[in-house]
Structure 1
Amino acid sequence: MITAHCSLDLLGSVAALCVCDLSPAQCDVNCCCDPDCSSVDFSVFSACSVPVVTGDSQFCSQKAVIYSLNFTANPPQRVFKLVEQISPSIFCIHITNYKPALSFINPEVPDENNFDTLMKTSDGFTLNAESDISFTTKLDIPTTAKYKYGVPLQTSDSFLRFPSSLTSSLCTDNNPAAFLVNQAVRCTRKINLEQCEEIEALSMAFYSSPEILRAPDSRTKVPITVQSVLIQSLNKTLTRREDTDVLQPALVNAGHFHLCMNVVLEVKYSLTYTDRGEVTKADLSFLLGTVSSVVVPLQQKFEIHFLQENTKPVPLSGNPGYVVGLPLAAGFRPHKTGALPCRLVAQKVKNLLWGQGFPDYVAPFGNSQAQDVLDWVPIHFITQSFNRKHSVLQDSCQLPGALVIEVKWTKYGSLLNPQAKIVNVTANLISSSFPEASSGNERTILISTAVTFVDVSAPAEAGFRAPPAINARLPFNFFFPFV
């Protein structure tokens, strides 16, 4: 126990706390921990309004400061005792290894000095907006996942591999097959002929064993069916196998030469999909051959095509010449211009600026819950139009040119540990007038999107007390007979 008769020194973080110090640079009455109070102020104190100041109550052992007044001294003095308190709870913190966890993280405001550093450390983020409260089970919710153009096709273990050449002519097996992207590639593979039986990329099973997911993250699997297998001999003759059994590469010794049979030379995928973005069927065709040491390195060809379900290809009347009795292929070329009406262009540009699912509210804090709707900040939408000199013409067109988003935030909470809070968001869509171009002429329109964060925090002001006011009523005839 420590007893001292002096002003507050830096005896620790607890001694620096003062919850009754509400007036900066001014002594608060009966606030014994206020460092602005002097002995003259203590002479008019009646007692300490906050006699005990403690630290974090979650610790098993914590420091506490006990304040009192010594009126026998002349002038009166403040007395404080720094003591150690033991928490009676069995669930308490004995020691903390990470002291910053006891307080909030101070927001770092970007400026010209730390902007580059913040950009390097920012790796992006994702925010899950799903509520913790669910009124229906996941089994009752219909799945809306579907493949979109360019999305890798998922399999039961990873994704459908489509070998291709990237930086060189060598085959890379980690390239994923993309939905609705028809491809035909050739690449070279360096192999050791004596180890051809161990190389997976030379086997049929490497391409036919995966099972494609019907939709992303779906439990329904679509097996890959082998439709045809062609065998190519050393003299380039082709033979179609009657069965579609999966063959394994086999190494054969032919005198002084080594031959590897049943090696995959060509792979052709044919995937059937629906208009809902689901894969319903997967067919596969192989061209196998015999490889000798003369043709090493090996060249392989891979193709993938997508066919929509319940659609028929355009019938041909011959390949390439006409066949007697088949109809003549004919068609017409529609006469149209590349010009678009102003209203359609304006809507397209507006959709491009807003994006998909532009929100109506913004969370004030980073941990705001979706259930607390009233705490969220609504977005204010503003539309502005800037007219140019030629806008007086009747053939001018109003097109959106910029979307400016302004986010106002403030520092919220304690002065020692303030937190960033969003208080206002404004989305301003700015349009300009453009003269409508004549047929055959093109015009380039530059659109932009800008986001500005404005700090609207007000500096802390001293909360001086209002001077006392006299609330007294005089009699009705007090100034009689003068008034």
Structure 2
Amino acid sequence: QVNITVQSIVIQSLNGMRTLLSSSDVLRLPMVLDELCINAVLGVNYHITHTDTGEIIEAAAAFVLGAISKEALSIEQSFEISFTQENTQPVPLSGNPGYVVGLPVRAGFQPQGYPFPAAFLFAALASSNKHSQLTILHSTPTQDCLAAQGARAPVLFGYNMISGCKLRITAAMKCQPLAQTLLDVLKGQSFPEYVASFGNSQAQDVLDWVPITQLHISEQMISHTLQSPCQIPVSLGIEVKWTKYGSLVNPQARIVNVTATITTTTLKQLPSGRERIIPITSSVVFTDISSPAEPSYKAWPTIDIKLPFDFFYPFV
């Protein structure tokens, strides 16, 4: 038997303002005061800690208490429960099992020296750092690509997104360092190799992860001087294909394919003293490839009756 400990108590007023009580306060009982029912339970958040074998070793509850006036026709209560395995770091999920619109697309990496034990396949998800999410370039107010390096925004499931910046190119800039800088701006320092099929895919479930297909295409030249050409990346386009999975009544969103396309363009050396401004863009598009849902019904069962030849004897 495991006792439930009170983790926190929050008091909510009639106007919605919440106040966290000190740890010395105990759970208050409901009572009527000036035509108000105070200390009524408006919400409870349970947190369960268990071992790797499923044994519950700790339970805690966080309460939200509030007042209810006699004019209230109805009240709304909320209940949540979360589970954490002992001696592990909780990993934020984006659905259970399917993705929830507006939550981050989870991503991971394949460690060097694969194959490894499955539990270590996507080690990046063992912690809740920003690298466990698919990200794109985060636009800044200055729209300066060099200043935006390192600024990332998470890709939210179901939301088509576009961001960008501007790069001022001078004749003094070298091709290779410039190309690498732009690639870091578009993809970030650590671009993931896989995304989770479901919002609750676990690291040890290798088949629940979809590899990111990376493509490269080239545009036409944007300068026509006679110097040697230089290929620089100017855009990153990510297409996420997903489908509805499961029952017709409660379909779950499942990612089935992710393609990241880097578009490069040919930039020739500018004459001394000249400058050029090039737009750099990142975009994400979600495509629903589900087949039209058609309800199906089971056929009526057929009854195959076989009677012995003398069943009606001696009447027939």
Give the TM-score normalised by the residue count of structure 2: 0.40
Q: For CA contacts below 8 A with separation 6 or more, give which structure has more relative contact order.
A: 2
Larger radius of gyration: 1
Give the TM-score normalised by the residue count of structure 1: 0.27
